[in-house]
Chains A and B, each alone.
Chain A
Amino acid sequence: MRNKTNIKLGMIFSETGSYAALGQSMRAGAMLAIDEINANDEARYTLEPIAIDPGGETAAYAEATRELISNYDITHVFGCYTSASRKEVLPVIEKYDALLWYPSHYEGFETSDNVVYTGASPNQHILPLARHLISNHGKRGWFVGSNYIWAWENNRILREALGSVEGEVVGERYFAIGDKDFGELPATIVADQPDFVFVTLIGDSCYRFIRELRRHAEAAGIDQSTMMPIASCSLSEAELPLLGADAAGHLSSSVYFSSVDTPENHWFTERWNAQFSHLGRASADAEASFVAIHLLANALERAADTSLEAVRDAVRGIELVAPQGPVAVNQENLHCAMRPRIGRSTHDYDFEIIHEARQLVQPDPYLVWVDPMPEPESDYLRVVK
């Protein structure tokens, strides 16, 4: 075995708090990659994670990052889930010239030179979902979200897409993150009979809302999952067990589902299920965390040295075959080219993939290059089932 250089990595995943299920899943995805790299005799580096749990408190993220960078002399920090947390961390990351590896889908409109974005950009999740909903379910949507940028911006994009086909936003409501008191809203939505309910609630709020909506639909004799399905850009395998009997029949737009049929994903899910089945199945954010660690490891092997500049230069344009299939880091904006998919959740806490893009879609974080509804879904996504 050769002499290896040890690299400390910072981890800021909220493994407690209102979206703990996601944080645990992301940390687990990162750990699978770290174990794999540390077991690889060919690798020049070993990776040593040092984790601080911000507990889902937005304000705690900046302090956690500062501590990792100054106390442990760390350059590479993995984590954040909500955009609010990323915006807290960014000034610290830029001030100390560290690199944040952000392994989650987000709403875009950001391109920091100190962030590698390994989750989906808006043109890779919300636009494919908009096309799918309009092509398959209708043009009347109810929007319910957690009151922060993720919901606001996704709702704006979907509202404009619906506007371009003379559709209608029947109603739009926001709740504080973690809020579980929806009052009359589920009953109102059922009475309004929209074509779909676009949910950008996150964590506990989301699970409670889905359950309540389904209860009210059942009471009204409506099959909610076919008549007014929940549509989401974030609902993942990590969350389906928390929905219990109400897990099936929801639409989610994502670049990864645990049911993706690739050799790499079979390998990945096998490892996942052996170690982390208590966290539900592997999810998009877990896979994005796994991919982020591998991208860093790849970049370290290619870089002239371990400095931030050398690693960042090396990561531009890197391609690797991830569980979801090929992934390529865009040279210019450090987001990834990936393949959008639409899944429908099942009773066994999985997603059946019903559509997927014909090819890799380049990231477009500022939605510069796409029009809201450039082509019907059939030209863009192919039917899988």
Chain B
Amino acid sequence: MRQRIKSNFRGYRAFLVGLDDANAEHLAVILTRLGLLVEVADLKAPSAGSAKSSAVVFFDADEEPETPRIPENCGALASIAVIGNEAPSRLARVVSCGCDSHIVKPIRSAGVYTALVLAVNGRDRVSRAQAEAQLLQQRLAARRVVTKAVVALVQQMNLDDEQAYEYLRKEAMDRRISIEQMARDFLLASGAAPSSWASHEG
């Protein structure tokens, strides 16, 4: 089923980092209209730019490098770069921060909502893709367990490799577990695997 896009940001927290007063003020007015709760970062405070999970972070891409960066993986819902200079050194920072969308200065009313929709939904999509990639990696890593179990079955039960695999697949289906888990269980039960495997997942 098609994922419905997020288009209402009522109650979301917005965290403004490094913007000058005029742009911060203007952006705060627009975001408040859109239902967000706005906080402005105090750049002197040690926590600035970090620990703002569950917020959409707006950061000024034109600031000097020594101003706090948005740490990667800070847990923000999404990050949006506010860009004045379209110069490679500034844009490199935008790219390295993994920002989800951007707004061009001077800030005007049109464009902010679009940036929010793209950033929040884009970040959702990235999160889903990352979770899927992690799952696939785990399964890939577990393939050698399956191979090992097939080899053990061939040796112990006098099956050919096709039959051994089919046996694992059917047992896994009957028990409603993954074939990787089934292979691991078989190896543990037959004593062909170290008991430390028992704690592994996936």
Please report A residues at the B interface, Cβ cutoff 8 Å.
Answer: 90, 94, 109-113, 332-333, 366-369
Contact = CB atoms under 8 A, between A and B. Distances in A.
A110 B35 CA distance: 14
B9 A109 contact: no
Nearest to A368: B35
A369 B9 CA distance: 10
A368 B109 contact: no
B6 interface: no
A367 B113 CA distance: 12
20 contacts: A90-B110, A94-B108, A109-B113, A111-B33, A111-B109, A112-B108, A113-B108, A332-B29, A333-B33, A366-B8, A366-B33, A366-B34, A366-B35, A367-B8, A368-B8, A368-B10, A368-B33, A368-B34, A368-B35, A369-B10
B87 to A, nearest CB: 25
A366 B9 CA distance: 10
Contacts of B113: 109, 366
A333 to B, nearest CB: 6
Contacts of B32: 332
Contact of A368 (B9, B108, B110): B9
For the complex of A and B, the 7 pairs showing the least CB-CB separation, nearest first, are A368-B35, A368-B10, A111-B109, A112-B109, A332-B33, A366-B34, A333-B33
Nearest to A365: B33
B116 to A, nearest CB: 10
Contact of B35 (A111, A112, A113, A369): A369
Contacts of A112: 108-110
Given A366-B34, A368-B34, A113 B10 contact: no
Interface in B1-46: 8-10, 29-30, 32-35
Nearest to A114: B109
Interface string B85-122: 00000000000000000000000111001000000000
A341 B6 CA distance: 29
Contacts of B109: 110-113
Contacts of B10: 368-369
Nearest to B8: A368
Given A109-B113, A368-B33, 14 more contacts: A90-B110, A94-B108, A110-B109, A111-B30, A111-B33, A111-B109, A112-B109, A112-B110, A332-B29, A332-B32, A366-B33, A366-B34, A368-B8, A369-B35
Interface in B141-186: none
**Residue from B10, B29, B109 whose CB has the most chain A CB atoms within 10 Å:** B109
B131 to A, nearest CB: 26
Contacts of B108: 94, 112-113
Contacts of A109: 113
A110 B8 CA distance: 14
Contacts of B34: 366, 368
A109 B109 CA distance: 11
A212 to B, nearest CB: 33
A164 to B, nearest CB: 11
A297 to B, nearest CB: 26
B20 to A, nearest CB: 19
A20 to B, nearest CB: 29
A217 to B, nearest CB: 34
A173 B105 CA distance: 39
A337 B53 CA distance: 36
B138 to A, nearest CB: 36
Nearest to B110: A112
Contacts of B110: 90, 110, 112
A333 B10 CA distance: 16
B88 to A, nearest CB: 28
A105 to B, nearest CB: 20
Contacts of B35: 366, 368-369
Nearest to A366: B34
A58 B16 CA distance: 38
A143 to B, nearest CB: 18
Contacts of A332: 29, 32-33
Contacts of A369: 10, 35
B130 to A, nearest CB: 29
Contacts of B9: 368
